[in-house]
Amino acid sequence: MANDYERARLKMVDEQLVARGIKDPRVLSAMGRVPRHLFIEEALRDRAYGDHALPIGERQTISQPYMVALMTEALELKGSERVLEIGTGSGYQTAVLAELAARIYSIERIAGLADKARWVLASLGYRNVAVKIFDGTYGWKDQSPFDAILVTAGSPEVPPPLLEQLKEGGRMLIPVGDRTTQVLKKVTKTPAGVEQSSLTGCVFVPLIGGHGWVAENA
């Protein structure tokens, strides 16, 4: 069983990541190590290493492996960084970041998801991760500034508090667009000002909060 998951994981790295141009060896080996199936409910585990997002409850999703790799690679982590993540969800992306940087601060607005993610991360032995239940559009001021910020929900704009909490020289990856489709933006803070580039089109669940979208009750 464990071997089957490992085989599926290495196949995912080759066929979905390397084949599509992900090059950073640290990102590839982290995603070859993190047991993605343990962040997913048992009934869906057979599909854990497939080329797609999957439901994680509360109408939220764990991102497609390629999107996790693309965003992580673009953060250019070397190992010493303090990273802020908005949208802990299952905690899978958090674990990948924890393999690659010094300290991860992750914020999730849904308590049930945050609790589950904390439990899985702790059971896998990640000690460099803190998960907080909060509206991440305000960032985590006490722990700022951050070398890198990763937002894994779609936002109408770059939330100003997140830009403030990014170090000079720091990188932020954030999907910006409407409630259903977005463009993945890389925002870099330089001495000359803020630079933005667009990486790809993408589909994330909405970022809900003070500097995001209003919650829908349905």
In the bound complex, which residue of the shown chain has the CB atom lying closest to ligand SAH? 89
* Residue 93 binds ligand SAH (CB under 6 A): yes
Member of 37, 82, 109, 189 binding ligand SAH (CB under 6 A)? 109
Query: How would you class 79 by CB atoms within 10 Å of its CB: exposed for 0-12, middle for 13-18, buried for 19 or more?
Result: exposed
Under rule CB under 6 A, residue 162 binds ligand SAH: no
Identify which range of 8-16, 81-89, 139-147, 190-198 contacts ligand SAH by CB under 6 A.
Answer: 81-89
Supply the minimum distance, in Å, between the C-beta of residue 138 and ligand SAH.
Answer: 8
Q: Distance between CA 133 and CA 137 in Å, rounded?
A: 12
Residue 83 contacts ligand SAH per CB under 6 A: no
Instruction: Tell me the two tokens of residue 209.
Output: 């909060």
Q: What is the b/e burial string over 2-38, where b = at least 16 CB atoms within 10 angstroms of the residue's CB?
A: eeebeebbeebbeebbeeeebebeebbebbeebbbbb
In the complex, least distance from residue 95 CB atom to ligand SAH, rounded to whole angstroms: 8
Residues in the interface with ligand SAH (CB under 6 A) total: 26
Least Å distance between CB 80 and ligand SAH?
A: 22
Q: Are 51 and 16 in contact (CB under 8 A)?
A: yes
β-strand pairing of 82-86 with 103-108:
parallel
For this structure, is 29 an active site residue?
no
Which has the closest alpha carbon to 131: 156, 97, 164, 94?
94
Q: Contact, 92 vs 39, CB < 8 A?
A: yes
Q: Which of 208, 215, 87 is nearest to 156 (CA)?
A: 208
**205 part of the interface to ligand SAH, by CB under 6 A:** yes
165 is a contact residue toward ligand SAH (CB under 6 A):
no
Identify which of residues 93 and 191 has a Cβ nearer to ligand SAH in the complex: 93
Alpha-carbon span 36 to 99, nearest angstrom: 13
Does 27 bind ligand SAH (CB under 6 A)? Our answer is no
Minimum CB distance to ligand SAH smaller for 64 or for 188: 64
Question: Which residues sit at the interface with ligand SAH, rule CB under 6 A?
Answer: 56, 60-63, 86-87, 89-90, 92-93, 107-110, 113, 135-137, 152-153, 205, 207-209, 212
Residues acting as catalytic residues: 63
